[in-house]
Every structure is written in structure tokens, then in C-alpha cells.
Structure 1
Amino acid sequence: MNPVAPALASRPLALLVDDDAIIRMEAADLLDEAGFAVVEAWSAASALDLLERRPDIGLLLTDVCMPGAADGFGLAREVARRWPGIRIVVMSGPMTPAGHDLPDGALFIDKPFSARHVLDAVRGIEGLS
């Protein structure tokens, strides 16, 4: 039996998607501080694979610029379409959303992000205090 599993089961699960390992580590720490268990992916394709296997994911925090056919905006729209109950936060440094880049209800954070911006976004979107 895994002694960590019961503790993680009581925490909401976030999917963190970024191709930069350092940013993933920083963001994972912030999500943990905000009360989330975290699973990580490095591309939209790997994120979709995780989402298909993990129905318990409640939050997506994704970068925009990633390798592969889909960027973070495309991933956010696909997640909103296929899993409408998942809350979405998109982050980027070089790009900002325009038009219909973001699905309804999604939040955007500029990079480099501050801990306060990430914590405020995920706490607000999930109703955590």
C-alpha cells in the first residue's frame, strides 16, 4: 500500500504543462503550496494522454509555447471542450491571448510569473482560501 496515496486523494489534482523543467518545478511547488496534488506533462499531447487516464484532474495550468502540434491555447480550448469541469489557467511570456485564444472562464498569467499571481489565480479559480 502506498502511504502517500490517501493524503493526495484528499487534495484537488492539478495538471501542470510546461516544456521547461525549471518552470515546472517552480510552478509545482506553488501548486503544492496552494493545496493541490500535481501531475506534470511537457507537451499538449502528453497532457491529453494524462487527461484521458486521470478523470480526477480539476485544474490545468499550462504554458503557451510548447513543442508539438498544439500550443497551450489549443490545449486549453480542447480541454474546455472535452472536460468542461476542469478549471484552466494559461501562462506565457512572449504571447498574450487575443480573440478566442482562451476558452470562457480561463485565466491568463504573464511570465515571468510571481508566486502571488499563480497562487491568487489558482486559489480564486478553485475557491481555495
Structure 2
Amino acid sequence: MIAPPECIILLVDDEALTRQLAEMLLEECGYRVVTAENASQAMHRLQTHPGVGLIFTDLLMPGPMDGRELIHHLRCDGCDLPAILTSGIGYAPPFLPTRTRFLNKPYKRAHLVSHIEQFIAA
């Protein structure tokens, strides 16, 4: 398994407080984090941070692309990074893109880390 500091996580969430809390949680676990507040910023961050190893994105975001559409767009562009979609809707949305998992909000630290570690180990 790759050590956490070797995995940069792209965190995408339109809600500033949620994004900040998730960033702190991930950093406390030893991960390096790059943040974006929407899909457009996320695509730019991927171009400027080539070391990103996992995308952790909110499902429901305003704008032309939500989290699932962001992942689908990236897959169509050849980006095969693992992704975790998260939302408080209470159920996994149908038709998740490949190499994508769903995590309900609110999530526990251990559950989030478990999802990340399973992807990194794969």
C-alpha cells in the first residue's frame, strides 16, 4: 500500500465549511490535499497538480457539472483516477462512473479512510 503522503487528494465541494472540514480531516490523516469549489476548478487543478491520485467530490454542486458529471467528463478525457462521490441524499445514485464509490454524508473518519485506502491499495 502507498503511504498517505504519497497520495494527493483533489477535494471538490461547493460548500466552503464542508470543504474546509474535509480538508482538515484528510490532512490529519496524513494526506496532501488540493481543493476546488466546482467542477471547472477541479479540472484546472488536475492540470496544475499532476500528482493527484484520487478525487473526492461532492455529488450535488451548482453549475454546469455536478460531481458525477465531473467524473464522467474526466473518464471521457482518459482520466482513470479513482473517485469517491459523497452526498447527504441517503442513497447511492444509479450508474456511477467506473472506479467510483459513493460515501454518504455525514461520514465517519474511519469509513472515509477505508474507502481511500482500498483505492490506493488497488
Normalised-by-shorter TM-score class: 0.7 to 0.9
Give 2:88's aligned amino acid: G
Counterpart for residue 121 of structure 2 = 127
1:91 to 86, 89, 95: 86
- The answer on whether the counterparts of 1:30 and 1:118 sit within 8 Å (CA) in structure 2 is no
Q: How does 1:1-129 map to 2 (within 5 A)?
A: 11-94=6-89, 96-100=91-95, 102-127=96-121
Aligned residue pairs, count: 118
- The answer on whether the counterparts of 2:85 and 2:100 sit within 8 Å (CA) in structure 1 is yes
Q: Normalising to structure 2: TM-score of the pair?
A: 0.84
When residues 76 and 35 of structure 1 are mapped into structure 2, their CA distance, relative to the original with a 3 A threshold, is same
When residues 57 and 83 of structure 1 are mapped into structure 2, their CA distance, relative to the original with a 3 A threshold, is farther
- The answer on whether the counterparts of 1:58 and 1:85 sit within 8 Å (CA) in structure 2 is no
Q: Rg bigger for which structure?
A: 1
Write the distance in 2 (CA, Å) between the matches of 1:117 and 1:27: 13
Structure 1: state its 5+ residue gaps.
Answer: 1-9
Counterpart for residue 5 of structure 1 = none
Write the distance in 2 (CA, Å) between the matches of 1:76 and 1:15: 12
- Residue 127 of structure 1: how far off its partner (Å): 2.1
